[in-house]
Amino acid sequence: MNARRLALGAWWGAGSLFGVLGVAQMTGLFVNVTDSLPLGLWKTTGPPVIAGGAYVTASPPDNAAVRQLRLWGYLDRRRLLKPIGAVPGDRVEVSPNGIRINGRALVHSAQLLHDGPGHPLPRVPAGCYAVAPGTVWLLSQYNPHSLDSRYFGPVPVRHLQNAAMPVWVRSAPVEAARTASARGDKVFASPPVTLLRRPQADTELTSAAPVADRCP
């Protein structure tokens, strides 16, 4: 009798879990567990909106920077959750102090030189970039340790999947942008891994090429 009850309980639990997962998939709900945006419950709301500040899910671009980062255990192959920082027609200026979009400085946007275990991170070279048609830059101001276009460059619009919005998160994105540094976020939480090869030169890692040293 006890074995039968245990079996029935296991079947009921499995059925409940699959039911919850099915409802979540149908309603677009998902849990964000990365630090680029607030942890918690998010929801996809339809096709991606190509506008600065819009939250989107996306797959990473296919370039050498992304392949290198994946060797170290970063970047989900299926879905990133990031804000759009720059759209076609914008000017992106990358410098050691951070990133500017059309002259406006983004907070928490300076590139890190290394990750937690000490790997040298691939980075978009300093300079002024014109955002090409059919591409966007994904840039988070929420967390200074966000792994985004400051490292892997522009993302083709075809890689964008859905618009997204926070439902129940630990802090609102706008509020958290002011306090991310003080909160002491961890740098790319990841176990140490073996360095399989040295990164190539920065200019070889992404498809981005600056049009000038600085934006006018």
Q: What is the pLDDT of residue 137?
A: 97
Q: What tokens does 164 get?
A: 């997204």
CATH superfamily of the domain spanning 33-205 = Umud Fragment, subunit A (2.10.109.10)
User: What residues contact 24, with CB distance under 8 A and at least 6 apart?
Assistant: 30
Q: What is the pLDDT of residue 209?
A: 67
User: What residues contact 197, with CB distance under 8 A and at least 6 apart?
Assistant: 71
Distance of alpha carbon 131 from alpha carbon 89, whole angstroms: 6
With helix as H, strand as E and coil as C, how does the chain read? CHHHHHHHHHHHHHHHHHHHHHHHHHHCEEEECCCCCCCEEEEEEECCCCCCCCEEEECCCCCHHHHHHHHCCCCCCCCEEEEEEECCCCEEEEECCEEEECCEECCCCCCCCECCCCCECCCCCCEEEECCCCEEEECCCCCCCCCCHHHHCCEEHHHEEEEEEEEEECCCHHHHHHHCCCCCCCCCCCCCCCCCCCCCCHHHHCCCCCCECCCC
Contact 79, 57 (CB under 8 A): yes
Complete edge-to-edge strand list for the sheet that includes strand 104-105: 104-105, 98-101, 91-95, 127-130
Closest CA to 35 of 121, 127, 116: 116
Q: What is the pLDDT of residues 96-106, one digit of tens each?
A: 999 999 999 99
- Note the pTM of the prediction, 2 decimals: 0.74
Q: What is the pLDDT of residue 211?
A: 66
Query: How do the domains of the chain map onto residue ranges?
Result: 1-29, 33-205
Q: What is the pLDDT of residues 2-27, one digit of tens each?
A: 555 554 554 544 444 334 334 445 67
Count of beta carbons in the 10 Å neighbourhood of residue 186: 10
Q: What is the pLDDT of residue 15?
A: 42
Contact 6, 14 (CB under 8 A): no
For the four alpha carbons of 115, 118, 124 and 125, in that order, the dihedral sign comes to: positive
Q: What is the pLDDT of residue 27?
A: 73
Which residues of the chain fall below pLDDT 50?
7, 10, 12-24, 174-204
Contact 65, 71 (CB under 8 A): no
